[in-house]
Amino acid sequence: MHSFAYRANALLTFSLTVLALMCAMASVSDNFNSPSPTSQVQVLNINWFQKKPDGDDEVSLTLNVSANLQSLFTWNTKQVFVFLAAEYETPKNALNQVSLWDGIIPSKEYAVFGIHTNSKYRFIDQGSNLRGKDFNLTLHWHVMPKTGKMSADKIVMTGFKLPDVYR
């Protein structure tokens, strides 16, 4: 006969093997999900556009952000981190990204939202490169699963331009 310790060890090993197999199946099952989120962003107002004393450009925007991110949620999704970034080019850098707003969506019920807000973070360029600059607003998201690898994607919205003069 086998001892109690041997039987407990066999049961624990079998249980952990089944748990690991279930986690692997959950992670693989997310690969079959093809999300189709939608988003729309409007710049309602440029509150101020100024040159700071240190020579950097600073912009404050009033934004209207609406999105439907429900398709990102599966039974394996823990939460989604989402942020809105302004992206533009300068002579020094091919891509500049400045985060304007962010949030955490804890469940599918909160994944359809519309917010009217001032930019949560300052839109500052290190230099005087923003006057008359075309820029994109990009909604980025990171899906954090309960098990498996994290995934990220974005929606780029083009056609935004800053004024030629400071206000």
**Residue pLDDT, tens place only, 26-72:** 778 777 888 999 999 999 999 999 999 998 999 999 999 999 999 99
**What pTM does this model have?**
0.84
Distance between CA atoms of residues 126 and 54, nearest Å: 9
Over range 111-117, report the average pLDDT. 96
Over range 106-132, report the average pLDDT. 93
Neighbours of 83 (CB within 10 A): 19
Question: Going by DSSP bridges, is the β-strand pair 77-88/96-105 parallel, antiparallel, or unpaired?
Answer: antiparallel
Q: Both tokens of residue 63?
A: 């934004």
Backbone φ and ψ for 34, nearest 5 degrees, come out as -120, 90
Distance between CA atoms of residues 132 and 148, nearest Å: 44
Question: Residue 92 pLDDT > 90, yes or no?
Answer: no
pLDDT given for residue 1 in this prediction: 65
Overall residue count recorded for the chain in this entry: 167
Q: Both tokens of residue 153?
A: 């994607």
For the ranges 13-17, 32-36, 160-164, which has the lowest average pLDDT? 32-36
How does the average pLDDT of the chain come out, rounded? 92
